[in-house]
Amino acid sequence: MSYLKEILPKIIRYRLARRKIISPGLPLNLTFSITNVCQSRCRTCKIWDLYARDPQKRREELTLEEIEKIFRSMGHIYIFNISGGEPFLRQDLTDIIKLACRYLSPGIIHIPTNAIAKTLIEERVREILKLISADYPQVQLTVKPSLDHVGDKHDEIRGVKGNFKKVMALFEQLKTLQPEYPNFHVELGTVISTWNVNDIEEIAAFVTGLGLDSYRNEIAEQRAEMFNRENVITPAPEAYEQAAQKFTHHIRTQMKRRLFFHRITSAFRLAYYTLAVKILKENRQVIPCYAGISNAHLSPYGDVWACCTLGYDQPMGNLREHDYNFRAVWNGSQADTVRAGIHRGDCACPLANQTYSNMLLHTPSLLRVLREMVRG
């Protein structure tokens, strides 16, 4: 109930902010790409190529001291997504999470990983869990190894031989930590691209057999953040629709066996698939987009974005240029210009993280979620 008391005023405020009646306030969801360093050589992403071309660029990433100044200038957010690159390669990851817990007070922290540095990841996850358990027991931690196919086909998409075996080994090892840390959740996630969209039945069946807590997937997109504008990676709408139908079938067969919390997330995903297919087919904002209002994205270099799709192409401002004051950038004229373009419908994408927030702020979508829960 306390969550609802906090979230309802935010929903009202965000709706008014989109109509330019009031300022947006603070976002509900913050994604922070803490580094662009990555060992993967994914077909869907060229982040890894940035430092290969410009090794000095790594030195421009925000320091821990700068991150503390930024977090201190913000306030409470609900979901803190840590992204990359490969987040676990950042030596001060645990310290960043400690600062986030201290200043942002998130309810959920979510970290994806390519699972390549398996031993390092295990050590860091244990560090983070000990920190949360001792000082911030209200925080739910989710770690999501990426699984884009089964066996060698995963390695081909990710560009690293032996990656699939490491994903599975890390997944099994992380699961052993759950009895000790009940606020720890282990997921798997798939990026649906032109290289695996026709094999979704095989992937979904494999994942279902693992009996995991949760399974996420998102569409491979051309994003400014990933330097992949020239890559044909997004599946055709018809192919994605067929894949979504298969995911829908697998989710619905398991809904009744899931705990209430996981039934909620599953219901949101079922509603998301319908929206994502329609967005791809019609190339428009099927429901209003609240990027730059409900959600914010922070780059490794201090850029504030409405979302990672617009990213470097349409930044809201850089925090180093505003004395690390997030509110100064968030409420600035440059941010207003970006929001105006989103409000006009200049862009449209099925970015999963943002679409879930959009659904929360769209009554017909919420009703669809409730119907899926009842049906489950």
Query: How far, in Å, CA of 107 to CA of 56, rounded?
Result: 35
Q: Which of 29-43, 53-67, 295-309 shows the lowest mean pLDDT across its residues?
A: 53-67
- Residue from 80, 49, 86 nearest 67 by CA: 80
Q: Considering the entire predicted model, what is its pTM?
A: 0.94
Kindly state the average pLDDT of the residues 163-185: 96
pLDDT at 245 over 50: yes
pLDDT tens-place string over residues 85-115: 999 999 999 999 999 999 999 999 999 999 9
Query: Would you say 324 and 71 are in contact if contact means Cβ atoms under 8 Å apart?
Result: no
pLDDT at 1 over 50: no
pLDDT at 47: 87
Q: Which helix (H) or strand (E) holds 260?
A: helix 260-282
pLDDT at 56: 83
pLDDT at 184 over 80: yes
The CB density around residue 208, as the number of other CB atoms within 10 Å, is 15
Of all residues in the chain, the percent with pLDDT exceeding 90 is: 74
Q: Which of 10-19, 53-62, 192-201 shows the lowest mean pLDDT across its residues?
A: 53-62
Question: Quick one: pLDDT band at residue 4, thresholds 50, 70, 90?
Answer: low
pLDDT at 85: 93
pLDDT at 215: 84
Q: What is the DSSP string of 97-133?
A: HHHHHHHT--SEEEEEE--SSHHHHHHHHHHHHHHHH
Distances in whole angstroms, Cα of residue 307 to Cα of each of 1, 46, 63, 258: 29, 18, 22, 31
**What's the maximum distance between 2 C-alpha atoms anywhere in the chain?**
54
Which residues lie below 8 Å from residue 91, measured CB to CB, with a gap of 6+?
none
pLDDT at 344 over 80: yes
pLDDT at 57: 83
pLDDT at 266: 84
Of all residues in the chain, the percent with pLDDT exceeding 70 is: 95
pLDDT at 3: 57
Using CB atoms within 10 A of its CB, is residue 258 exposed (0-12), middle (13-18) or buried (19+)? middle
Query: Would you say 108 and 80 are in contact if contact means Cβ atoms under 8 Å apart?
Result: yes
State the Rg of the chain over Cα. Answer: 20
